[in-house]
Amino acid sequence: MDSKQSPKAGPGDFNSFLAQVELINLRTVKLNVRAEKEFQHKQVKDMNVRVDSTYSNNEDRTGFSVDVAYVVRLRGGKRVLGSAAVTFRLFYSSPLPMTDSLFEVFGKQPAQFQTWPFLRQHLADVSTRCNWPRLTLPLLHVQAVGQKPTPQPKK
């Protein structure tokens, strides 16, 4: 058994775990866009963002990676006008392995916070290249540890 034990996911222990984690690299591993027809900005009635995160520890115990997958759907009523699916992979160095209890917070806070600006940029680029109206996701407002990050409302 390994002499280093992963800390519990309490706020103090999570912060201790986070202090020893370093982001090494972030890359886009998947980008898929569906835009079957042109549409006008006024036709967009709803923009839905779904996110899912998974992790895996490195076999050599030097860190872990996190995949953050977003699906953005633009709807005009019941009809989907367009969609974009983007998956980012983040590589972290860490002397301690990621655990399920730590990932409950880590996958919803740091990993999403680190990828959100790249998602915003991809969506802005995609909207231009697909001849969609210019789409900009709002800035991400990060809640207290353990709460889900939410987009800030437009002012």
DSSP state string for 71-119: EEEEEETTEEEEEEEEEEEEEEE-SS---HHHHHHHTTTHHHHHHHHHH
In tens, the pLDDT along 3-53 reads: 344 444 666 778 888 899 999 999 999 999 988 777 777 888 888 899 999
Calculate mean pLDDT across residues 59-83: 90
Calculate mean pLDDT across residues 91-99: 93
CATH architecture of 23-138: Roll (3.10)
Tell me: pLDDT of 148 over 70: no
% of the chain at pLDDT higher than 90: 42
Q: What is the pLDDT of residue 7?
A: 41
Q: What is the pLDDT of residue 43?
A: 81
The highest-confidence range among 35-39, 115-119, 135-139, 141-145, by mean pLDDT, is: 115-119
Calculate mean pLDDT across residues 116-139: 87
Give dist(CA 117, CA 31) in Å, integer. Answer: 15
Q: How many residues in total does the chain contain?
A: 155
